[in-house]
Amino acid sequence: MGIISKEKFFETVCEIRNRKRNINNSDGDIKTSGKKYNGQNLLANILVCEECGASFRRRIERGKVVYRCATRMDKGREACENSPTIEESWIKEELA
């Protein structure tokens, strides 16, 4: 016998698959996407680059937590030139 029932296991697998595909739109609707859900970093599902439409990723630069466009991080500045780097402290101040 396992730690959890087979039923609970399959429910969990389905939920994980759904979270990998779901993102929230600005109007509150849930949209299916090929992008991953990240439960540890909720802002990654909210922040979207205005230039290329990619999500932002959280990273640490020079001891500060910042968010940067995923396209810019993966393909370089040439792929997404005008995307800003946003400090997490600024986001928290704006949301407070």
The pLDDT value given to residue 26? 63
Give the end-to-end CA distance of the chain in Å, rounded to a whole number.
Answer: 48
| Model confidence, pTM | 0.56
The pLDDT value given to residue 38? 53
Both 21 and 59 in one domain: the answer is no
Q: Give the count of domains, the chain.
A: 2
Beta bridge partners of 58: 67
Q: Which domain holds residue 26?
A: 1-37
User: Residue type for 88, please?
Assistant: E
Both 50 and 77 in one domain: the answer is yes
Both 28 and 52 in one domain: the answer is no
Both 60 and 17 in one domain: the answer is no
| Contact yes or no for 49/80 (Cβ under 8 A) | yes
pLDDT along the chain (96 residues), means of 10: 73 69 63 55 72 86 89 90 88 76
In the block, residue with structure tokens 């997404």: 80
Both 75 and 87 in one domain: the answer is yes
Both 24 and 58 in one domain: the answer is no
3-state secondary structure of 93: helix
